[in-house]
Amino acid sequence: TIDGAVTIFRDITTNQKLERAKDDFLAVAAHELRSPLAAVRGYTDLLVRREQRRGEEDSSELRGLNILAQQVTHMLRMVDNILDVSRIDAGQVSLQVQPVNLVALAEQVIEQQRPSAGDRWIELEAPGPDLQIVCDSLRIRQVLTNLVGNAIRYSAPGTHIGVRLATHTAAVIAANHPFYSIPGSMDAQSVQVLVAVRDQGSGISDDQLSRLFRRYARGRERRAEGLGLGLY
């Protein structure tokens, strides 16, 4: 028999207020940082072009400016990710859907990432030069940039990074990828596009996979910078 019971309640109001205050601060800080960072990148690009016109492609000044441009671009991307999180939480994100050649978009992302890849070899595998999909190109570009950027950061120099675009039925994708579930309104035999980025880094453990789409979620490997917002 049960003689009694103890019920414990915990007031989480304070924690929620602190979490909201932190989110508001990050959103305001990111908004204030974006304009000066964009100005720095604009002037850096101008200096890079001026140095290139001088014809000294391998000068130490040009190498330094290219490094500066890469770092400013990285900081801008982090700021944009924070602003996107604020918009998502506020329900203010709208998708601009239109036909897009996914192969051309992936090629652009890879070319933009090559300067930071160093001697890592990035290869694109696609079924052909033209793969038309209907999507928000800005968001797909953002996801691809984050995936390829993560692969570069967590891969050792001299290793291979593969970006593969493939078409399969929704049923085949669901059978081989446990984190994908077919939406109720979708025909299981409808053709979908699978985008895969493969590198030779340390990988993601099963317990970390469950946290992959949470904001500010980071893996145990801390040697690379970032806020863990790439797939939120």
pLDDT per position as a tens digit, 47-83: 888 888 887 666 788 888 888 887 888 788 778 877 7
For 108-131, b where at least 16 C-beta lie within 10 A, e where not — what string?
ebbebbeebbeebebeeebeeeeb
Of 80-84, 102-106, 187-191, which has the strongest mean pLDDT?
102-106
For 34-55, what is the mean pLDDT?
A: 84
Question: What topology is assigned to 13-89 in CATH?
Answer: Helix Hairpins (1.10.287)
DSSP-assigned letters across all residues of 176-218: H-TT----TTS-TTSEEEEEEEE-SS----HHHHTTTTSTT--
- Strand-strand pairing, 191-198 and 160-169: antiparallel
Please report, for the chain, the start and end positions of each structural domain, with discontinuous segments joined by +: 13-89, 98-201
If you average pLDDT over residues 154-162, what whole number do you get? Answer: 92
d(CA 170, CA 192): 6
Asked if the model's pLDDT at residue 147 lies above 60, the reply is yes
What is the reported pLDDT for 100? 94
- In angstroms, the Cα distances linking 64 to 45, 52, 60, 109 are 12, 13, 6, 22
Q: What is 98-201's CATH topology?
A: Heat Shock Protein 90 (3.30.565)
Which residue would you say has higher pLDDT here, 129 or 116?
A: 129
Q: With pLDDT > 90 as the criterion, what percentage of the chain qualifies? A: 23
- Check: CB of residue 69 under 8 Å from CB of residue 41: yes
Greater confidence (93 vs 182) lies with: 182
Burial of 39 (0-12, 13-18, 19+ CB in 10 A): exposed
Rounded to 5 degrees, φ, ψ at 146 are: -65, -40
**CB-CB contact of 124 with 110 (8 Å):** yes
Q: Specify the DSSP class assigned to residue 163.
A: E
By mean pLDDT, which of 142-146, 159-163, 190-194, 213-217 is the weakest? 213-217
Count of Cβ atoms closer than 10 Å to residue 151 Cβ = 23
pTM of the model: 0.67
What is the model's pLDDT at position 210?
A: 72
pLDDT at 107 over 90: yes
For 173, residues 6+ apart whose C-beta sits below 8 A from its C-beta are 180, 192, 194
Q: Which two tokens stand for residue 165?
A: 């675009």
Residue 4 pLDDT exceeds 80:
no
From the list 141, 154, 149, 155, the residue with the least C-alpha distance to 115 is: 149
pLDDT at position 193, please? 92
**Residue 127: both structure tokens together:** 């079924």
- The predicted structure's pLDDT at residue 63: 82
Q: What per-residue confidence (pLDDT) applies to 220?
A: 59
3-state secondary structure of 63: helix
Q: What is the pLDDT of residue 218?
A: 66
The yes-or-no answer to whether 13-89 and 98-201 have a common fold is no
